[in-house]
Every structure is written in structure tokens, then in C-alpha cells.
Amino acid sequence: MLFNIIMTYSVYHPTPCYSQGMTDMLTPMVYVFSDESLSYFAFCSLMTRYMSSLFDQDHIEINHRLYFINSIFR
């Protein structure tokens, strides 16, 4: 089920392309919903609203957020 959802997402949302960590966000949705279509819809919503900038190929946004977190702990 994870493979199908990630592949479908990658085909219909070529940007951002698949990146390590996407399945880590998808796995709890599959567990909770136990339904491929609901899990896909929830994953698309999460990526569209909150996470797509984290998976840009240049990694600018994720580096910015990690720098911010690092500065908090200094």
C-alpha cells in the first residue's frame, strides 16, 4: 500500500520528487485509516499544505528550519 501511494503521488505531483522521509510521514496515515484512498488523500493534503517546501531538491527550506532549531538549542 505504501508503494502504491508514493508512486501515485510521485506521478501526479512531480514536484517535489520523491524524497527520503515521505514514507515516514505516510506510514501512520496508512495505519490509522487502513484504507489506501483515504491515506493517499490525507498524504496529499499534508504535503500540499505543510510539507512540500521541505522536499525541494535544493533543500533550502529544510536547512533553514534545521538552522532555526539548532539556534534554539545553543
Q: How far apart are CA 5 and CA 34, in angstroms?
A: 13
> DSSP E strands: which ranges in the chain?
none
10 Å CB burial of residue 51 (0-12, 13-18, 19+) is: middle
CA distances from 50 to 20, 47, 55 (A): 17, 6, 11
Q: Output the pLDDT for position 56.
A: 66
Cell representation of residue 72: 534554539
Domain count, the chain: 1
Band of residue 52 on the pLDDT scale cut at 50, 70, 90: low
The pTM for the full model equals 0.71
What is the tens place of the pLDDT at every residue in 5-51? 999 998 998 876 777 788 998 999 999 999 999 999 999 998 888 77
